[in-house]
Amino acid sequence: MLMLLPIVVALAAADPAPAASSAPPPTPLKEIGRVRALPACVPIVAHANGAITQALDNDRTLAILSTNLHNTDFDKLNFMQRRNAIESLMKQAEAMRVASSAGDVEVKKLREYAVNSPDPKRKEELKTFADALGGALYRQKKAAVELMRDVTIMRGREDAAEARGLMRAANPVPPSAVAQVMANTPAILPGVPDSYNKQFKGVADTLDEMTKGILMDEGTAADHSIAATAGC
């Protein structure tokens, strides 16, 4: 979505407007390196890194999906090329959905450690870390499902439009009814996008908006990752 930047006129007596980028960006999520801790922390780090790996893989997949959705000229592809391109998008989204579920299994283990921790501070840090990481994985899964849902709806409408076309071909309209049919027929048949690029750009914009929430959750997880996994 294009945004028009307002022209700001600086006046001596006016209060300065707050900068839109004043808030620091979220802390990048990274795998947890070796920590100097007692062996009891080893399984926590293992499960944490398992979930983080899935989240980071999904970040890369989301970036690829967004780039392809924005930059592929779907309108210029022939039927088979467009079908293959869309099928590739669906496979990537499905892989992201599966990875999110796998990461959630690791997060559940972290929550169990948090519940059973005798240290109130560790319990709080580990729960905050697990909840934030679980939130990022949930948003990633939701993004994958959203893309697959949108494409499935589009395909269903196209199939219905094609079926209607075949029925009309098999049952031609009598000449006396042609004028009436033409009057009730839209310029673009229902289900067939007037622009595939426009449709998929809308999907990409949705993914980009969802990515912002994912990065915020990952930033919270990153801020609590060391305290949650070190010093057992």
pLDDT tens column, 125-161:
999 999 999 999 999 999 999 999 999 988 777 656 5
* Residue spans per domain, the chain: 39-166+191-229
In angstroms, the CA 11 to CA 100 distance is 50
Residue 163, pLDDT > 70, answer: no
**Arithmetic mean of pLDDT, 188-214:** 82
Residue 47, pLDDT > 70, answer: yes
Of 136, 156, 125, nearest in space to 44 by CA: 125
Q: Decide: 88 and 74 in contact? Cβ < 8 Å.
A: no
In angstroms, the CA 228 to CA 126 distance is 4
Element spanning 196, H or E = helix 196-229
Of the pLDDT bands very low, low, confident and very high (cuts 50, 70, 90), residue 190 is: very low
Q: What is the pTM of this model?
A: 0.76
More confident residue, 194 or 210: 210
